Structure 1
Amino acid sequence: MADQKHFISCKDYLVSGEEFDLFWHPEFEILETKPVPPALDFYYSSDQYISHTDSKETITEKIYQKVKEYMLGKKISWIRHYKTSGKLLDVGAGTGDFLNCARKNHFEIHGVEPSDSARGMAMRKNISLAKKYEELNIKKFDVICLWHVLEHVKDPKAELDKLAGLLEKDGLLVVAVPNFKSFDAEHYKEHWAAYDVPRHLFHFSQNGIQSLFSKQGFKLITKKPLVFDSFYVSLLSEKNSTGSSNYFKAIINGLKSNLKAKSSTEYSSITYFFQKR
């Protein structure tokens, strides 16, 4: 711990109310959450953990599901610019909506999802998900996607080694993560919802993620901003900081984040497209 500089302390607003510290990674421009709880599953045990539900009961959930539906098409169109078909693996597939969209666009779909409840919801959409990599019956994939997954992984380097082994020689690796150098991150500071401790174990900047992937043998092809994320993250951050959802402030700060990012490129979340070197 001596070689790591403290960056910020954040609270778990979703489950435990506990506080965690973020430290600079000694090698990359990346932040690490400390300590890592031994029983992480407990921290996902909330019906408010929205990526593991299809609920449309609250206003926030309705907005989230509508935006998600729109963005599914955008994500597939980005991928189809490089790959129009083939074997596609979604890591952290949630309830299977992205895979369902990929299937409709002529991809052979496969997915990994550790959550039992999320896999059950995917099964009702006729999408069978593996619980872990070892259960996959395909050894090589043309496209591998991690939509807001890498930040949850205990060892990103080991994960990238595993993904490199699963990816075809000319395959496409698509990774979306929050960006702690965005305007909304700097504005909300310890209340920024995308820190989401301790579920998010690592926190990435653009330089950090590109350095990490480069050292693990991947070449960056392009980047795409996830412009809706600034609004959703700002909405959750407002609740973290004030105790109530302030839609007006969230919209203003989400808009500010995107406008500032037009020149700085520091969007709230960014999708990176990589190929093996």
Structure 2
Amino acid sequence: MNFSTDNVYIKVQDHSVSKENFELLLDSDLQLLKTHPQPALENLGSYYESEDYISHTDSKRSLFEKMYHLVKSYSLKKKVGLINSYHREKGSLLDIGAGTGDFLVAAKASGWQTTGVEPNENAKKLAISKGISFQNSIESIENEQFNVITMWHVMEHVPDVEYQIKQLKRLLKPNGTLIIAVPNYKSFDAQHYGKFWAAYDVPRHLWHFSRTSIEKLVSRENMKLEKTLPMIFDSFYVSLLSEKYKTGKMNFFSAFWIGLRSNLKANASKEYSSHIYVVKNK
């Protein structure tokens, strides 16, 4: 990968925890952005220490959190339906970044043999209480391969993208399916909110993807991007947070309007706020 401090795409701030400033550097060939500077691995956890980091909790304190979990419940059914459509015979499934385990609970109920990986101990404890089994890390999985590997809004968090994809290749069975869901910095809502776009979420998001970057990165490991699907609810969720960062309050009407416009424009451009990438192993 080719990143240079001379090729700054945008300057952004950590709005939710540290208030520190960062630059996003562009690799022009991959159309991939890298957060700069990236925190040292031993310090990265401190940037997740917030009660508002919603994917590490089952909390339903506010209307926003209740809405999040309502959409999450619907999305879980769609996610399980997606993997079932590619594998009529249920097999083994690894979810990397399993959070509080709700996706694996749904997949297990559908007949999958499930395993999770989750670095956050509080989220993992919640998932274990729901009956989910875990591996300590992907490196600790030595003699096992999976029919399906999923990373739902996780790839943007990994320290080394190229290494991660090599590990995914190693862990995926021949003709297995890899599902990657990540935000898309080329979407209309990203362009509209600019430095306030919530899905930049620096420095927790170390990387920022486009359709081009995903396709090129997986092809290097002899895997094929087979399908790209929209995550239509993400534009509304991200716009709501972006409004908060930009104006200091959640403007529901403005957020809904920008989220709707983003999805409508994406009907033609195919640049949705977030995408699900379906990748097949060769």
Query: How many aligned positions are there?
Result: 277
CA RMSD of aligned residues (A): 1.3
Which residue of the partner structure matches residue 54 of structure 2? 50
Q: Name the aligned partner's letter for residue 185 of structure 1.
A: A
Which residue of the partner structure matches residue 249 of structure 2? 244
SS at match of 1:90: strand
Q: Name the aligned partner's letter for residue 51 of structure 2.
A: D
Which residue of the partner structure matches residue 60 of structure 1? 64
Shift of residue 131 of structure 1? 3.1
Superposed, which structure 2 residues align to 1:69-80 within 5 Å?
A: 69-80=73-84
Of 19, 22, 38, the match for 1:20: 22
Of 39, 45, 52, the match for 1:41: 45
Q: 1:137 to 1:54 in 2, by over 3 A?
A: farther
Shift of residue 26 of structure 1? 5.5
Q: 1: CA distance between counterparts of 2:45 and 2:174?
A: 34
Q: 2: CA distance between counterparts of 1:75 and 1:82?
A: 11
Shift of residue 128 of structure 1? 2.6
**TM-score, normalized by length of structure 2?**
0.95
Which residue of the partner structure matches residue 152 of structure 1? 157
Asked if 1:165 corresponds to 2:167, the answer is no
Q: Which runs of 5+ in 2 are unaligned?
A: none
Shift of residue 4 of structure 1? 4.9
Shift of residue 212 of structure 1? 1.4
For residues 12-37 of structure 1, give each alpha carbon's deviation from its aligned partner in whole angstroms, at most 9, with x where no partner exists.
01110101100002541100000011
Q: Which runs of 5+ in 1 are unaligned?
A: none
SS at match of 2:86: coil
Is 1:112–1:131's contact at 8 Å kept on the other side of the alignment?
A: yes
Q: 2: CA distance between counterparts of 1:224 and 1:79?
A: 13
Is 1:4–1:26's contact at 8 Å kept on the other side of the alignment?
A: no
Of 99, 102, 105, the match for 1:100: 105
Q: 2: CA distance between counterparts of 1:125 and 1:7?
A: 42
Shift of residue 89 of structure 1? 0.3
More divergent stretch after superposition (211-220 vs 97-106) = 211-220
Q: 2: CA distance between counterparts of 1:248 and 1:206?
A: 29
The share of aligned pairs that are identical, in percent, is 48
Q: 2: CA distance between counterparts of 1:138 and 1:61?
A: 39
SS at match of 1:81: helix
Q: 1:90 to 1:62 in 2, by over 3 A?
A: same
Shift of residue 137 of structure 1? 7.4
More divergent stretch after superposition (154-163 vs 26-35) = 26-35
